[in-house]
């Protein structure tokens, strides 16, 4: 009974049912939840270079890309642990984030910090084994995320750019892992799409928290739904235009030996508009990874786009 009372004191804002459910979970399970495996789908970007460098059937390149994917899954888990430790006090005031194990008090901060250090060292060691370039990109990614967890997330617009550049590092990691040139098109399309997702996430947070948004995260007070809608509109158009120019450019046709890549344009058109529909009409966008997994039309669109690109490039 004493233990139960102690736990209650460490979970401000949590309901009794949430506390009891958290208590029933083991420490290892709470750690796994804090690593957020559902979010690891973001790291699938490391395979973009493999596909567009025409090395999909090169077993060595596939193995190196898979290693880079695992490494970045580990590093992103470390970043989530660090972020949850830093934000545990404000997360307890959030209707959803207060359920996270660190914020709820079911995963002690010393345990989370120790796990982050061990996983981080192991991931960097693995990256160095793959190649020093991958280790350098991995270090830059972690440094950027650490800065984001500190001062960058409190600077308007810079906070969204920092999140977006994190996706660019994922794409770059896939290129350096298999030692291919990093396409400028890959950079442009990745950062624009990442900005689109990041801005949609900010809008979701602002609408969800309403009048309490600024008290949970002060930077949200610098935004408004109207401002974010304007930014999203600009980035949406830029993303689609960049992808269209990439698919129809003579450079792309010469590289792949075909001008049929333009046939894939309807997929990003539908995918982006479907995402906007989910953000505005279904109040989605808070977790892009979960939105992709749970929304069948969006997931089907992405899978069909990947299949179409592979068929056109390789067949």
Same-domain check for residues 200 and 172: no
Same-domain check for residues 176 and 210: no
pLDDT at 194 over 80: yes
The tens digit of pLDDT for each residue in 19-34 reads 444 445 688 888 888 8
Residue 91's pLDDT band, with cuts at 50, 70 and 90, is: confident
Return the pLDDT at 109: 86
Q: Is residue 276 part of a domain?
A: yes
Same-domain check for residues 215 and 74: no
The tens digit of pLDDT for each residue in 199-234 reads 988 888 888 776 666 666 677 788 888 899 999 999
Same-domain check for residues 36 and 173: yes
| Separation in Å, CA 35 to CA 28, 106, 284 | 11, 14, 22
Q: Is residue 11 part of a domain?
A: no
Same-domain check for residues 175 and 192: no
Which of 181, 197, 223 is the C-terminal boundary of a domain? Answer: 181
Same-domain check for residues 193 and 251: yes
Same-domain check for residues 46 and 137: yes
Least confident of 30-34, 101-105, 239-243, 283-287: 283-287
| Separation in Å, CA 60 to CA 52, 128, 130, 152, 178 | 16, 17, 11, 38, 8
Residues, the chain: 315
Same-domain check for residues 167 and 36: yes
Q: Is residue 111 part of a domain?
A: yes
Which of 181, 216, 232 is the C-terminal boundary of a domain? Answer: 181
Same-domain check for residues 173 and 219: no
Return the pLDDT at 213: 62
Which of 122, 149, 181 is the C-terminal boundary of a domain? Answer: 181
Q: Is residue 2 part of a domain?
A: no
Q: Is residue 234 part of a domain?
A: yes
pTM of the model: 0.82
Return the pLDDT at 215: 64
Angle between helices 158-177 and 132-149 (to 10 degrees): 170
Range of the domain at 42: 27-181
């Amino acid at each position: 009974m004493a233990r139960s009372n102690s736990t209650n004191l460490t979970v401000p804002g949590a309901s009794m049912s949430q506390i009891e459910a958290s208590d029933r979970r083991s420490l290892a399970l709470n750690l796994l939840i804090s690593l957020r495996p559902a979010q690891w789908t973001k790291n699938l970007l490391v395979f973009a270079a493999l596909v567009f460098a025409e090395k999909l059937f090169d077993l060595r390149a596939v193995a190196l890309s898979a290693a880079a994917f695992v490494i970045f899954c580990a590093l992103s888990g470390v970043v989530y642990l660090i972020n949850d430790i830093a934000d545990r006090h404000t997360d307890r005031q959030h209707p959803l984030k207060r359920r996270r194990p660190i914020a709820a008090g079911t995963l002690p901060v010393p345990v989370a910090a120790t796990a982050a250090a061990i996983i981080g060292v192991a991931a960097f060691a693995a990256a160095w084994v793959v190649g020093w370039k991958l280790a350098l990109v991995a270090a830059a990614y972690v440094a950027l995320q650490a800065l984001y967890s500190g001062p960058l997330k409190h600077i308007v617009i810079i906070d969204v750019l920092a999140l977006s550049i994190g996706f660019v590092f994922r794409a770059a990691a896939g290129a350096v892992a298999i030692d291919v040139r990093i396409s400028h098109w890959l950079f442009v399309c990745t950062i624009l799409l990442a900005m689109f997702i990041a801005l949609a996430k900010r809008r979701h947070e602002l609408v969800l928290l309403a009048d309490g948004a600024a008290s949970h995260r002060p930077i949200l007070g610098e935004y408004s739904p109207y401002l974010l809608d304007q930014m999203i509109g600009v980035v949406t158009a830029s993303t689609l235009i960049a992808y269209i120019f990439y698919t129809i450019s003579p450079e792309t046709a010469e590289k792949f030996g075909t001008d049929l890549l333009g046939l894939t344009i309807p997929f990003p058109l539908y995918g982006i508009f479907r995402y906007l529909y989910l953000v505005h009409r279904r109040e989605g966008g808070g977790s892009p990874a979960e939105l992709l997994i749970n929304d069948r039309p969006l997931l089907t669109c992405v899978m069909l786009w990947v299949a179409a690109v592979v068929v056109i490039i390789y067949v």
